[in-house]
Structure 1
Amino acid sequence: MVKLYDGGVYLVNGTEIVEDNRDAQEVLTSKTGYAVSREEAAKNTIAYRILQAHNTSGSMEKLQIKFDKLTSHDITFVGIIQTARASGLEKFPVPYVLTNCHNSLCAVGGTINEDDHMFGLTCAKKYGGVYVPPHQAVIHQFAREMLAGGGKMILGSDSHTRYGALGTMAMGEGGPELVKQLLNKTYDINMPKVVGVYLTGKPEKGVGPQDVALAIIGAVFGNGYVNNKVMEFVGPGVENLSADFRIGIDVMTTETTCLSSIWKTDDQIKEFYEIHGRSGDYEELNPGAVAYYDGMVYVDLSQVKPMIAMPFHPSNTYTIEELNANLDDILLDVEKRAKVSLGGAVDFTLRDKVRDGRMYVDQGIIAGCAGGGFENICAAADILKDAYIGADEFTLSIYPASTPIYMELAKNGRLADLIKTGAIVKTAFCGPCFGAGDTPANNAFSIRHSTRNFPNREGSKLQSGQIASVALMDARSIAATAANKGYLTAATDVDAHFTNPKYFFDSSIYAHRVFDSKGVADPSVEIKFGPNIKDWPEMPALTKHLMLKVVSEIHDPVTTTDELIPSGETSSYRSNPLGLAEFTLSRKDPAYVGLAKEVQKAEKAREANECMGDALPELRPIMHKVKEVYPDACKETVGVGSTIFAVKPGDGSAREQAASCQKVLGGWANIANSYATKRYRSNLINWGMLPFLIEEGDLPFAKGDYIFVPEIRKAIEDKATEIKAYVVKENEMKEFTLKMGELTEDERTIILKGCLINYYRG
């Protein structure tokens, strides 16, 4: 089904794979008639050419990228614009689209959410942007329909910013990276490695894009095969997939932890642009005659079976057939994983969902940027034709990804077909993906064609004794399960007739409802601020020395951004840095906020030129011990803050608040064995936090310990990669080494100044 090559490969004429071994050049010469070096062949990937066209540095080793367009939604754009305003924003220099698909439920938090929307609308007018009102489209569907273009690059403040199937290299990053683009700065990265994804064959009837995506994620996530690399989809199997099918695979590449994605394009993608009235945005993209890839994922589409990703990660994958055949063993394994993910906070089991030897499901959801596409919903309607979901616990909700899709479903009759089954069809909304809509009952099991199934993401709260769980599946198998009234069923096990209706895009709703400034700013517009929209607090520059208290210690193999700052009910506070910070680590380590605030008292005293020991008495003996070795250690030279240790933090969402909330509470560093994604590490840096690394093995410190990092400012200035530190007790200082990965000059300066806002203020 999926094979990973051990090393690099050459792709000849887009169809033949030649492994990069000692015979490679001889084989290549026999096939092409000429020799080709690895370096030259690497320039023939689609990814290389697009990055080269957008690079402003003059060096293809150290890239400085300027994007064509920017996108954000309503739990990110307020913080981004506030940061940019504080840094000197005058107008949006490139098209910037503000969608409203996350905080759409305006009853939540009183007026908070709608206040954010009015902030967005007035900013679009003032700075020259585009504003998409709530319920019109989820961020990524609007981008596909109206923004993507062949050979273009889009940066979005949502991790699933992926439009590679349409020939657009898109990246999801934390808000500060968009701030840089708004201030005419660049996105600075080393030239990423490019991994080919070679598709061959054709999916069997009933297999959908989520099945293919989960098969790939299951093969590459755990071993980091594509981590921070670009996935480039090639091979003869691509032409056997519709545009919607490709889009459904592509959006899930985020869950592999890759940097971005890009696909070869053809007449089916050309037709997609024609349907959407944008034929001029199509560009044919193919790798060169001989292209070199740093790895290759080989996927035989004909061998892919209906898949399920069990709790609590998209990579915890099985075929549905395998799950049904081994229910007890697999469910027991899920329980063992849950003990790690949930920390034993609640009793968790799925084995009580087995009824007469079959797996019973409480809820089905088809939604958002992954599941809410036209073809997915039409296929689900075909499977459910003349069926009923029943009157037991099982419920089914369907969220078309945009109003144009909803309109076409109404016109072609599929909307009526679905409603007749007992399904509820709702407006475009990302809520089910992050826990703000269709939250299951306690102990319920939900199957979803959405993007993630992290712990508690669907809305459960361990601190209140509430737990539910999500498995990811394709819309087709969700519909098959619904037709069987909640008993888990693969779509390949039902005899459905797929009608494959043609899609007709009607842009009139956007023409009449979406505000588009056409890039013209109106400085006279007054921004509307709701009472919950707050400025960022002042953040000091990095001091000569640093004293850190370890206030949380997490030993899970991976820590998600949902665990660092929960989604769902916190979304209404994304515009209020202090209010949101109260939720930091609330589902993973509820004691964190209180402990961090205690340490922050010392730093606030220091900044007020008061005695740190009076504010935090336990610090006195620690500072006395440090002074024995570093006599200059005092409030003028030693910043005091908190830090967390996590094995591998930052998997998942691009949300900057996973880092900024720690900073607001006085966090000055993270310590990790590695960082799950580039975007989380970038968020730390942009908020002035040190992304320390430490070798795997026995930790020299524990929760509650103080760590003194002498001459940290000089270490950053001198580009040190190894930094001396001490675990400080009243009677001893135990030396150990922290490491620092590569920093760009701008990143180094941002850390020294204390955060990105300070950096741009000068």
Structure 2
Amino acid sequence: MIELQNGGAYLVRGSDVVPDGPEAAARIQSLTGKTPDQKEAARNTIAYRILEAHNTSGNMEQLKIKFDKMISHDITFVGIIQTARASGLEKFPIPYVLTNCHNSLCAVGGTINEDDHMFGLSCAKRYGGAYVPPHQAVIHQYAREMMSGGGKMILGSDSHTRYGALGTMAMGEGGPELVKQLLNRTYDIPMPGVVGVYLTGKPVPGVGPQDIALAIIGAVFEKGYVKNKVMEFVGPGVSSLSADYRIGVDVMTTETTCLSSIWRTDSIIRDYYEEHGRPEEYRELNPGEIAYYDGMITVELDKIRPMIAMPFHPSNVYTIEECNANLEDILDDVEKRAQVSLDGKVDFHLKNKIHNGKLLVDQGIIAGCAGGGFENICDAADILRGQYIGCDDFTLSVYPASAPIYTELARNGVLADLMETGAVVKTAFCGPCFGAGDTPANGDLSIRHSTRNFPNREGSKVQNGQIASVALMDARSIAATAANKGYLTPATEFAGEYRKPLYHFDSNIYAHRVFDSHGKADPSVPVRFGPNIKDWPSMSALPRNLILKVVSEIHDPVTTTDELIPSGETSSYRSNPLGLAEFALSRKDPLYVGRAKEVQKAQKALEAGDDPLEALPELRPVLETIDGALPGKMKEGYGVGSTIFAVKPGDGSAREQAASCQKVLGGWANIANEYATKRYRSNLINWGMLPLLAAQGDLPFANGDYLLLPDIRKALEEKADVIQAYCVGTELKPFDLRIGALTDDERQIILDGCLINYYRNQK
């Protein structure tokens, strides 16, 4: 079904995969009459060519990328623009679209969500951007319909920024990376590896894009096979998939931890651009005659069956058939894993969902950038036609991904078909993906065609004794389950007809509602501020010596950004750095905020010229131990802050607030065995925090310990990789930390204290 190649592989003429090895040259010679050159073949990938066209460094080993366009939604664009304004923003230098699909529920938090929207509209007018009002489109659907283009690159402040199926290499990053583009700087990364995804065959009826995506995620995630690499979809199986289908697979590549994705394009994608009134944006993309990939994933589409990703990660996958056949064992395993994820704070049970030997779920959701596509919803409606979800606990909600999709569903009768079954059809909104809509009852299990199923992602609060959970599935199997009154059912059991209605895009919906400045800035327009929109607090430069207190210690195998800063109702505070910081780690370590703020008192005293020992008396014995071992060292200057340890932090969302909340609470560093994603590490760096690495094994410190990093500023200036650290007790106990690769700019950002300071210092 899915095979991962050990080592690299060549793709010859787009159809023959030749594993790298002693026999590769002869095989390629027999196919092409040419002797392969691996370095030259690596330049023949689609990804390499797009990156080369956007690289400004002149060095393809160290890229400095300028993007064509950018896009943000309403829990990120305020912070991004505020940071850029503080750094000298005068005009958006490239097309920048501000969508409003996350904080759309304007009753939550009073006026503050709509205040953010009006901030966005005023900034689009003042700085020359575009503004998409609430309920018109989720961020990624608007980008697909109106912004994508063959061979183009788009940067978005959302982790699911993926438009590779349309020939657009897109990346989701934390807000500071968008700020750099707004200030005419570049996105700096080493040349990423490129992994081929070779598709063969054609999916059987009832198997949807989420099934393909979950199967791939399950195969690659734990192995880190594509971590921080580009996934390039090739092979004859690509042409068996519609544009909507490819989009549905593509958006979920984020959950593999890859950097980006790109697909070969063909007449199906050309037709997509023509239907959306932008035929000039189509470009045929194919790898060269002999292309070399750093890895190869072979996917036999016809062998994949309906999948389910059980709580609490998209990689925890089974076929639905396997799940139904082994319910007790699988649910028992999920419950045991949950005790690790939930720290035993609540009782979590799934085996009580077994009724008459079958899994009975409580809710179905088809939504957002992954599930809300036209074909997903039409196929779901075909399965449900003539059926009823019933009048018991089970509910079904459907969120079309854009107003044009919603309109077409109304015009062709699918909307009425769905509503007749008892389903509720809502407007374009990302809420079900991050806990701001359709939160299930305590103890319930929801099946969703959405992007993630992390703990609390559906909106429950462990700290309040609540727990619900989500299993990811394709829209078709969700519909089959709904037709079966909530009993888990694969869509392959549906024997009816899929009507496959044609889609007609109505451009007037956006033309008469979306504000687009077409790049023309109007400095006379004042920026509109609401009372919750706050400036970033001042942040000091990295001190010469640094004293850190460990204020949280997390030993889960992976820590998500949802655990670092929860989603859901906290989104209303995303424009208020200090207000949002009060929620940091609240679901994982409720004592974190208080501990961090207590330590921060010492740093604030130092900055004010006051005695830090009066602000934080527990610091006295720490300084005494340091002075005894390193006399006079602290007289050179020092700072005091907090740090956390997590085994592998940063999986999931691109949200910069996972790092910035720690920073505004006095955080100076993270310590980890590894970082789950490039984007989380970048967020730490851009907020002036040291992304430190500790060797795996027993830690030389524990929660509550003080650490000393002497001469840390000098170490950074001299580009040291190994950082000498000490655990401070009755004596100094030395141990090593590493900082990993940093560009010169990244190093200076940390030295300056944050990206805002970095730009201010350059004026």
Q: Normalising by structure 1, what TM-score? A: 1.00
1:660 aligns with 2:660: yes
Q: Secondary structure, in 3 states, of the residue corresponding to 1:505?
A: coil
Matches within 5 A, 1:280-319: 280-319=280-319
Q: What is the CA distance between 1:25 and its match in structure 2?
A: 1.2
CA contact (8 A) 1:612 1:635 kept: no
Distance 1:16 1:592, change over 3 A: same
The residue number in structure 2 matching 1:92 is 92
- CA deviation map 1:301-324 (0-9, x unaligned): 000000000000000000000000
**Aligned length, in residue pairs:** 761
Provide the C-alpha distance between the structure 1 equivalents of 2:259 and 2:550, rounded to a whole number of angstroms.
Answer: 30
The residue number in structure 2 matching 1:649 is 649
Q: What is the CA distance between 1:633 and its match in structure 2?
A: 3.6
CA contact (8 A) 2:312 2:454 kept: yes
The residue number in structure 1 matching 2:408 is 408
Q: Secondary structure, in 3 states, of the residue corresponding to 2:159?
A: coil
1:756 aligns with 2:755: yes
- CA deviation map 1:318-359 (0-9, x unaligned): 000000000000000000100000000000010000001010
- CA deviation map 1:679-731 (0-9, x unaligned): 000000000000000110010000000000000001001110101000001x2
CA contact (8 A) 1:606 1:636 kept: no
The residue number in structure 1 matching 2:359 is 359
1:441 aligns with 2:466: no
- CA deviation map 1:64-115 (0-9, x unaligned): 0000000000000000000000000000000000000000000000000000
Provide the C-alpha distance between the structure 2 equivalents of 1:22 and 1:710, rounded to a whole number of angstroms.
Answer: 50
The residue number in structure 2 matching 1:746 is 745
Matches within 5 A, 1:16-95: 16-95=16-95
The code of the aligned residue for 2:335 comes to E
The code of the aligned residue for 2:455 comes to P
Provide the C-alpha distance between the structure 2 equivalents of 1:700 and 1:205, rounded to a whole number of angstroms.
Answer: 55
Q: What is the CA distance between 1:635 and its match in structure 2?
A: 6.9
The residue number in structure 2 matching 1:621 is 621
The code of the aligned residue for 1:221 comes to F
Q: Secondary structure, in 3 states, of the residue corresponding to 1:513?
A: coil
Q: What is the CA distance between 1:24 and its match in structure 2?
A: 1.1
CA contact (8 A) 2:586 2:592 kept: yes
The residue number in structure 2 matching 1:158 is 158
The code of the aligned residue for 2:478 comes to I
Matches within 5 A, 1:375-524: 375-524=375-524
Q: Secondary structure, in 3 states, of the residue corresponding to 2:328?
A: helix
Matches within 5 A, 1:196-345: 196-345=196-345
Q: What is the CA distance between 1:629 and its match in structure 2?
A: 2.7
Q: Secondary structure, in 3 states, of the residue corresponding to 2:737?
A: strand
1:582 aligns with 2:576: no
Q: Secondary structure, in 3 states, of the residue corresponding to 2:88?
A: coil
Provide the C-alpha distance between the structure 1 equivalents of 2:664 and 2:390, rounded to a whole number of angstroms.
Answer: 49
Provide the C-alpha distance between the structure 2 equivalents of 1:464 and 1:705, rounded to a whole number of angstroms.
Answer: 29
Q: Secondary structure, in 3 states, of the residue corresponding to 2:736?
A: strand
The residue number in structure 2 matching 1:604 is 604
Q: What is the CA distance between 1:636 and its match in structure 2?
A: 6.1
Q: What is the CA distance between 1:31 and its match in structure 2?
A: 1.3
In the alignment, structure 2 segments of 5+ residues that lack a partner are none
CA contact (8 A) 1:606 1:635 kept: no
- CA deviation map 1:106-150 (0-9, x unaligned): 000000000000000000000000000000000000000000000
CA contact (8 A) 1:119 1:527 kept: yes
Q: Secondary structure, in 3 states, of the residue corresponding to 2:97?
A: strand
Provide the C-alpha distance between the structure 1 equivalents of 2:545 and 2:706, rounded to a whole number of angstroms.
Answer: 13
Provide the C-alpha distance between the structure 1 equivalents of 2:77 and 2:637, rounded to a whole number of angstroms.
Answer: 36
Provide the aligned C-alpha RMSD in A.
0.6
The code of the aligned residue for 1:403 comes to A
- CA deviation map 1:241-293 (0-9, x unaligned): 00000000000000000000000000000000000000000000000000000
- CA deviation map 1:617-653 (0-9, x unaligned): 1100101111123333437611100000000000000
Provide the C-alpha distance between the structure 1 equivalents of 2:590 and 2:229, rounded to a whole number of angstroms.
Answer: 35
Provide the C-alpha distance between the structure 2 equivalents of 1:134 and 1:555, rounded to a whole number of angstroms.
Answer: 39
Q: Secondary structure, in 3 states, of the residue corresponding to 1:480?
A: helix
In the alignment, structure 1 segments of 5+ residues that lack a partner are none
Q: Secondary structure, in 3 states, of the residue corresponding to 1:179?
A: helix
The residue number in structure 2 matching 1:732 is 731
The residue number in structure 2 matching 1:542 is 542
The residue number in structure 1 matching 2:701 is 701
Q: What is the CA distance between 1:533 and its match in structure 2?
A: 0.1
Question: Mean alpha-carbon deviation: is it higher for 215-224 or for 624-633?
Answer: 624-633
CA contact (8 A) 1:611 1:635 kept: no
The code of the aligned residue for 1:52 comes to E
Q: Secondary structure, in 3 states, of the residue corresponding to 1:397?
A: strand
The residue number in structure 2 matching 1:685 is 685
The code of the aligned residue for 1:706 comes to Y
Q: Secondary structure, in 3 states, of the residue corresponding to 2:512?
A: helix
Provide the C-alpha distance between the structure 1 equivalents of 2:636 and 2:309, rounded to a whole number of angstroms.
Answer: 53
Matches within 5 A, 1:100-179: 100-179=100-179
Provide the C-alpha distance between the structure 1 equivalents of 2:670 and 2:687, rounded to a whole number of angstroms.
Answer: 12
- CA deviation map 1:576-625 (0-9, x unaligned): 00000000000000000000000000000011111111111110010111
Provide the C-alpha distance between the structure 1 equivalents of 2:541 and 2:19, rounded to a whole number of angstroms.
Answer: 50
Q: Secondary structure, in 3 states, of the residue corresponding to 1:470?
A: strand
% identity of equivalent residues: 76
Provide the C-alpha distance between the structure 2 equivalents of 1:53 and 1:63, rounded to a whole number of angstroms.
Answer: 11
CA contact (8 A) 1:623 1:633 kept: no
CA contact (8 A) 2:629 2:732 kept: no
CA contact (8 A) 1:99 1:138 kept: yes
1:9 aligns with 2:12: no
